[in-house]
Structure 1
Amino acid sequence: MSDIVQFEELDTANGKCIGVARLNSEKSLNALSEAMIDLLGPQLKAWEEDHRVVMVVLEGAGEKAFCAGGDVVALYNAMKDGDNGGQAVEQFFLKEYRLDYQIHCLKKPVLIWGHGIIMGGGLGLMSGASHRVVTETARIAMPEITIGLYPDVGGTYFLSRMPGKCGLFLGLTGANINAADALYVGLADHFIPSEDKGRLFDALCHVNWGETLSLNHEKLSQALKALEQPARVKLPRGQVKGHQEAIDHLCEGEDLAAIVDRICGLETEDSWLARARDALKHGSPLSASIVFEQLKRGGQLSLADAFRLEAGLSWRCGEFGEFQEGVRALLIEKDRNPNWRFKSVADVDGAVLARFFESPWDLHPLANI
């Protein structure tokens, strides 16, 4: 079982070591499973308490993906076989959010090697790291609207803090972004070409690591900057910054129906905007309504409160059935014809939407994070 996450410790020149955790499920593009979460949490805690370990690296096996998201097929099967969809998905989401929060709070430096596909649950792992590296192959998105979910794993917090209306646009459309975009919107800290990974790990093993956490954080930053500065010429051209004015115009105002109409009515030959438009057109109107409301709240929430809000939202998504239908259409039967409960955001029942933001628990299971 431990093979689904590979753990190793790299010896450094001055007798310390670097903990490396590798998601190891190339066939599923390293989709984050409950079994992976059960292994990662305790190992990260052990490394945090081990005085020999100076930093942690999280990476994905293979060339295609760091992590393409949570294992939603397993969640679909749980919802299909259970009497209550909310209870069926509860354990996975609670564990996932605890792990994401743990990474955010880890005192030692945490380096994410962000290559290939980084979506959904993969972005949840990445967003909490102290040092987030993206390569030229990085392809990042929160495409939950296509499966009747919403941008979770901390999306309430990090999407609401992006420049202008970027977070809302990315949440509504699930638009793909690259390494340059990730740096611009605050999802990444450094760009290093994939060909320099070996040089980076070699450099890290020769850093003069010490006992002071703040200095170790700075030493990792310096090692990354040394490789990053000459590599900037290889940074791919981004989309978000150049489209910032258009994004802000499309998403302005407090009327979600008007925002959706502007995006869906967009006539453009710009392929990036066109793909974003089409994803919103075919996505769940209920999910769009959830995204709009969660991001209105997100800017005022602490990180812990954001995860607590998302735990309840995810429970309700399992309960209501839209999530199950979205996964069925996209990944199970693959007919790409989901029968969404509401046909437009204007049709979304306000009472139904309000229920999503009501906690299903009297005592919240994440009250102690």
Structure 2
Amino acid sequence: MSLVLTEIKNKVGIITLNSEKTLNSLSLEMIEELKAVLEDWKTSGEVACIFLQGAGEKALCAGGDVRKLHDAIIEQQSIDGTKVPQQCFDFFSKEYQVDYLIHTYPKPVIVWGHGIVMGGGIGIMVGASHRIVTERSKLAMPEITIGLYPDVGGTWFLNKMPSAYGIYLGLTGARLDGADCKFLGLADYYISSSSKVALLDALDHAQWNGNNHQTVSAILENISKETTTPESQAQIHHSFIAQFEGANSLEAFREILMQHPDKDEWINTGIKSFETGSPSSAHIIFRQLKEGENVSLEEVFQSELNLSCQCCIHPDFAEGVRALLVDKDLSPKWQPATLPDITKEWVDSYFTPLWAHEEHPLKNLGKKD
């Protein structure tokens, strides 16, 4: 079974992530297939525009297949725990190459962000030129709960959000719906899922005359007019989020979060993820986003590859996946166990370069072939 299905209709290259059982989670094989198709269609005269979707109605993509990464880490630990498992390196480096390819793609890329879109799914969606959410879209970057951090370009897109939404979402894994995504700049169009047939039909009859981005935009503008975007919970909480703009340390962030007097369900859900998530993750997320405020897209993926590989040789990532997905006891034993236990040296160790600058595996991102 192919993990990526493709067809071309009226110069529209349709890509379907095809692993419905796993909510279209990204495996290394799926990433490699997707990369090959995108590279092939980049210069093909047969394709004017790309439409990317997930199989089934439940998800575009629920993230990376972290269970496989967990197994690779455990196997590597029995040989030499100081070395990054090859499978993890291959997964992250190729995933980020695909994400970067979508960010810089010369043709319009429409992503149908329906259902669950998390972690690696957001990585695929966020760089597209035309990003669609529906009434059933559910987005999040909940990596703090598994000892990881918001990668796949999170350093870039979380820092592009208004106010302190980026740091808040990174540290709490807060869930977003379609209206939230429009407000925060993660999506361009809010369209009813019942309009998908009409959208594909319009693309099927489009005249591709060279200004293809404009053609796609006109079609999506027209169809999105039929749906009213509901109120965004994230936007409603703007005054709450604005308090974090001055938080210049993780301790300050935590204090504002815990001291807020008027806690509702949206805020309490965020507090729970922050409090039960990996303390190491909290520290590295805060530093990642503060240091990455003015970094180029290329440097973002280069630094994230280093950080992700470091997570594979630090204890919390494998432990977080074990607790959530392997043993499912939901009781991770974080090391160190609490926020105050974490030293600057420990956080520094996550950011220690694994490669010299000129040897970085992604050093050629953005350079002409």
In the superposition, the TM-score normalised over structure 1's length comes to 0.94
Match of 1:229 among 225, 229, 252: 225
- Letter of the structure 2 residue corresponding to residue 86 of structure 1: V
- Letter of the structure 2 residue corresponding to residue 121 of structure 1: G
Aligned partner of 1:43 in structure 2 is 37
SS of the aligned residue for 1:198 comes to helix
Does the 8 A contact of 1:86 with 1:314 survive in 2?
no
Distance 1:52 1:157 in 2: 32
Does the 8 A contact of 2:138 with 2:177 survive in 1?
yes
Per-residue deviation, 1:260: 1.4
Distance 1:18 1:224 in 2: 14
What does residue range 165-180 of structure 1 map to in structure 2 within 5 Å? 165-180=164-179
Per-residue deviation, 1:187: 0.5
Per-residue deviation, 1:144: 0.1
SS of the aligned residue for 2:240 comes to helix
Per-residue deviation, 1:340: 0.8
- Residues 47-80 of structure 1 show CA distances to partners (whole Å, capped at 9, x for unaligned) of 1111121001110011110000000000001001
SS of the aligned residue for 2:226 comes to helix
What does residue range 152-167 of structure 1 map to in structure 2 within 5 Å? 152-167=151-166
Aligned partner of 2:18 in structure 1 is 24
Aligned partner of 2:190 in structure 1 is 191
Aligned partner of 1:200 in structure 2 is 199
SS of the aligned residue for 1:8 comes to strand
Distance 1:341 1:252 in 2: 29
Q: Point out where structure 1 has 5 or more consecutive residues left out of the alignment.
A: none
**Identical counterparts, % of pairs:** 44
Aligned partner of 1:335 in structure 2 is 329
Aligned residues: 358
SS of the aligned residue for 1:161 comes to coil
- Letter of the structure 2 residue corresponding to residue 169 of structure 1: Y
Aligned partner of 2:90 in structure 1 is 91
Match of 2:304 among 274, 296, 310: 310
Answer with 241-250 or 51-60: which moved more.
241-250
Aligned partner of 2:216 in structure 1 is 220
SS of the aligned residue for 2:227 comes to helix
Does the 8 A contact of 1:268 with 1:274 survive in 2?
no
Does the 8 A contact of 2:64 with 2:119 survive in 1?
yes
Distance 1:345 1:306 in 2: 26
Distance 1:237 1:276 in 2: 19
SS of the aligned residue for 1:231 comes to coil
What does residue range 117-136 of structure 1 map to in structure 2 within 5 Å? 117-136=116-135
Distance 1:143 1:162 in 2: 17
Distance 1:317 1:248 in 2: 30
What does residue range 263-302 of structure 1 map to in structure 2 within 5 Å? 263-266=257-260, 268-302=262-296
- Letter of the structure 2 residue corresponding to residue 356 of structure 1: Y
Root mean square deviation of aligned Cα: 1.3
Q: Point out where structure 2 has 5 or more consecutive residues left out of the alignment.
A: none
Per-residue deviation, 1:188: 0.5
SS of the aligned residue for 1:336 comes to coil
Distance 1:301 1:344 in 2: 30
Aligned partner of 2:241 in structure 1 is 247
- Letter of the structure 2 residue corresponding to residue 149 of structure 1: L
SS of the aligned residue for 1:181 comes to helix
Distance 2:238 2:135 in 1: 22
Match of 2:338 among 336, 339, 344: 344
Distance 2:38 2:314 in 1: 34
Distance 2:100 2:147 in 1: 24
Aligned partner of 1:61 in structure 2 is 55
SS of the aligned residue for 2:60 comes to strand
Per-residue deviation, 1:268: 4.4
Does the 8 A contact of 2:163 with 2:245 survive in 1?
no
In the superposition, the TM-score normalised over structure 2's length comes to 0.94
Aligned partner of 1:114 in structure 2 is 113
